Amino acid sequence: MNNSYMGSGISFYQHTLGARFHFLGQGLHTGARASVTVCPAEENTGYLFTRRDVHLANADIHARWYNVGGARLSTSVANHEGVRVSGIEHLLAALQGCGVDNAHIKIDGPEVPVLDGSCLIFVDFIKQAGLRRQTAPRRALLVEHSLAVGDGKRSAALYPAVVPSMRMALDVPSRAAGIQCFSLSLTPQSFRKDLAAARNFALLERLQRERDEGMQQGASLRNTLVLAHDRVMNKEGPRFGNECVRHACVDAIGDLALAGAMVIGQYDGQNACHALNNRLLREMMVKRNLVRNVSLEEADSWWRERYTAEEGRRAVNV
């Protein structure tokens, strides 16, 4: 019997980390230093943050779409006590992209450290920790009908698709980047190979303004691809010719991880941002007729039945 979704290697069962891992560093926007330990977690936990520096009865924050408390330049989640963690999207993208369903993230500061601005260090930590298969079935949100949100210049959409996939287009107002497009089918292998190394990026002309507004306090050439009007400021240059749009894919994966289950469908973003991704999730959850909440194995059966029915119709028409 095949134990992976549509033969993709994506297991039908939930996974957690084989061991904990630890890192520390500076937040991209607050500039605050924090120490983080990412631990294995029980089945059906999802991604749970605990603020170790907050002395309240409830310092736990579940990383779910309904707890998003800010999504301007990064995504933050908060609990009913007002305890908040920001800059969560890169770590969640790495966990989701590497096939980790359940993790307990203990942090002693307000923001997840940005490290080198990509997911690469997180992915290396996850590889070293290993994965442990659990007995509970992996949950899936099977997209049955299309859904789109946007404002004309920006849009984010989900369409029915057999395997989780992504298509992103980005118009960066710098001649050093310009219009970039990227698409891929999402597997742990493709995430590591094609997305994990793509760094956060910023426009030089906006960077000082955002700093004056209290953002980007920890941004530097060590963790951000900085774009001037016609050149890249980083001496080493971009890691990919289209690094910006690849990083936008990373951000979208981290934002969609807040769904609480694997999204089986195609995500399509046009200049999409964190706020728009969260709006897409909220619309999807409110309009429940658009998606089917099933186990991943049930999603596999659902698509295989449709393939069989389609083959039958073709045989009749021959």
Domain over 13-317 is classified CATH 1.10.3210.10: no
N- to C-terminal Cα separation, the chain: 32
pLDDT (tens digit per residue) in 231-245: 999 999 999 999 999
pLDDT (tens digit per residue) in 162-213: 999 999 999 999 999 999 999 999 999 999 999 999 999 999 999 989 999 9
Are the beta carbons of 237 and 243 closer than 8 angstroms? no
pLDDT (tens digit per residue) in 6-64: 988 899 999 999 999 999 999 999 999 999 999 999 999 999 999 999 988 899 999 99
Q: Indicate the average pLDDT of the chain.
A: 95
Give per-residue burial for 225-255: e unless 16+ CB within 10 Å, then b.
bbbeeeebebeeebebebbbbbbbbbbbbbb
Dmax (CA) of the chain: 70
pLDDT (tens digit per residue) in 69-83: 988 899 999 999 999
274 is catalytic: yes
What is the spatial distance between Cα 263 and Cα 163, in angstroms, rounded to a whole number? Answer: 9
Cα dihedral across residues 77, 79, 80, 83: positive or negative: negative
- The confidence score (pLDDT) of residue 187 equals 95
Q: What pTM was estimated for this model as a whole?
A: 0.95
Give bridge partners of residue 166 from the DSSP assignment.
Answer: 184, 267
Sorted by where each begins, the domain ranges of the chain are 13-317
Pairing of strands 103-107, 47-51: parallel
Q: Which of 90, 104, 247, 274 is catalytic?
A: 274
Exposed, middle or buried: residue 193 (CB in 10 Å: 0-12, 13-18, 19+)? exposed
